[in-house]
Amino acid sequence: MIRIISLTEEGRDLGTKIKDVMVNQLSTDSALVSLHYKPKPFSNVVQAMFTSGDRIILICAMGIAIRTLAPVLKSKLTDPAVLVLDEDGRFVVPILSGHEGGANHWANELAGAISAETVITTAKPYIKPVYTLGMGCERHCPVSYLAELRDQCLDAVGLSLSDIHSVSSIDLKFDEVGLIQMAKEMDRPFNTWSVRALSEVEHLLSTKSDYVYKTVGVYGVAESAALVGAKQETGEEAELILVKQKNAKATCAIARSYPSQQVPEINVIKSSQIL
């Protein structure tokens, strides 16, 4: 669900415009977008929306947004995306889950639709990262299960198939027909990694499964494979942008890494108009 929240009449007018744009230009289901004008009690309502996993667009002062959401923040890997706009609609600022929750991508999309400017304040926003899919599955898993889960994961972080560099798994799956076929249909490499290689990123896993460890020798296939795949492409440490997701027959995670020669150790505000 996408919640658009405003505190002023001008903000309400902008919120109405944003809802219309999202439905008619960005192909968002109208049933999934709601507009809220001066909800009361404000903090409780907004916090409840956030903790339920709703994406939020706040049309208000940045300070109000930060003070309201600070008590319910948990993790960049699980918190929903949040955008803040000024009531004139000049700037769109992703303040939470910029990379992991797709807020940066969402902000750029919305800003383009309403002729606003995106203000990115996360580190390395303009560097093109390498994204990799890590996948595990039951033996002889149908491609349909793999592709459905893959697409759900990409949607969750605002990525498309064209953003993905490669598909990775454990070397036990080197001959898994479904994974091979899926990667071929994506026109992307399918790489498999040894237990030893996957074990090197164990400290980066979001969860560890003793069952998986006893079965294949690592604590998680999808997350480990995604991390190793991304790291191998750039030579730099990778990070998860989507922790392991699963359906009845498969698991999927997404990782990214930045090429070392391109990464400046600074934060950047992408705007020529803000003083």
Q: What is the pLDDT of residues 36-76, one digit of tens each?
A: 999 999 999 999 999 999 999 999 998 999 999 999 988 77
pLDDT digits (tens, 9 = 90+) for 199-218: 999 999 988 999 999 999 99
Q: Give the pLDDT mean for 67-96.
A: 88
Rounded CA gap, 94 and 99, in Å? 10
| H helix or E strand, kind and range, residue 34 | strand 33-37
Indicate whether 124 pLDDT > 70.
no
Confidence of residue 102 (pLDDT cuts 50, 70, 90): confident
Domain boundaries along the sequence of the chain: 2-118, 130-258
CATH number of 2-118: 3.40.50.11220
Rounded CA gap, 140 and 215, in Å? 17
Indicate whether 170 pLDDT > 60.
yes
Q: Which CATH superfamily is 130-258 part of?
A: CobE/GbiG C-terminal domain (3.30.420.180)
Rounded CA gap, 271 and 275, in Å? 9
Which pLDDT value is given to residue 119?
82
Confidence of residue 27 (pLDDT cuts 50, 70, 90): confident
Three-class secondary structure of residue 54 per DSSP: coil
What are the phi and psi torsion angles at 141 (to 5°)?
Answer: -65, 130
CB 45 within 8 A of CB 52: no
Measured over the CA atoms of residue 42, residue 13, residue 155 and residue 223, the dihedral's sign is negative
Fold agreement between 2-118 and 130-258: no
